[in-house]
Amino acid sequence: MARVLLLIAFIVAGFQVKALDLDASFESIDGGTLTLSQWDGQTVLVVNTASRCGYTYQYSGLQTLYDSYRARGLVVLAVPSNDFKQELASNAEVQDFCDLQYEIDMPMTGLSHVKGPQAHPFFKSLKEETGFVPNWNFNKVLIAPDGNVSATYRASTKPNSLRLLRDLERVLK
């Protein structure tokens, strides 16, 4: 209750409050680190992925979406996770699979937890702010250029779905 009152006080005082942790570092599958804040002012679609899932074919649609909208500021960030026991054992295996099968060039993190007590800080903050927790692979989170969650989607929402494309058009600059 105290946290809610504090947030309300900040909002009333004119402070912009962002509960999402956009500064938490992800390991990049290419080495180094990635943060969502490095794309501040851009639209970001965060997708928890897995290489051995019935929805893995969505990698192709995600790459097409990235290719189609990146010039307008869209970033598609793939977050491989084995939380649902359908991901390969290492970052190198995931990267090789994505390169060979889908020719992925969108940004991709290293293996990360997306739910539970070991969830990456971004996913913990997503749960706190919106109540959204990935319940399977290929759940999607659309983050608007202002850093706020614009929409969330379950695995069955394909990258070329009318709903996702309509939401994307609405938030792109």
Whether residue 53 lies in the annotated active site: yes
* Rama region for 144: left / alpha / beta (φ>0; ψ in -120 to 50; rest): beta
Q: Are 35 and 23 in contact (CB under 8 A)?
A: yes
Q: Annotated catalytic residue: which of 20, 44, 45, 53?
A: 53
Distance CA 153, CA 164 (A): 8
Strands 74-80 and 43-49: parallel
What is the CB neighbour count within 10 angstroms for residue 134?
Answer: 25
Q: Which residues are catalytic?
A: 53
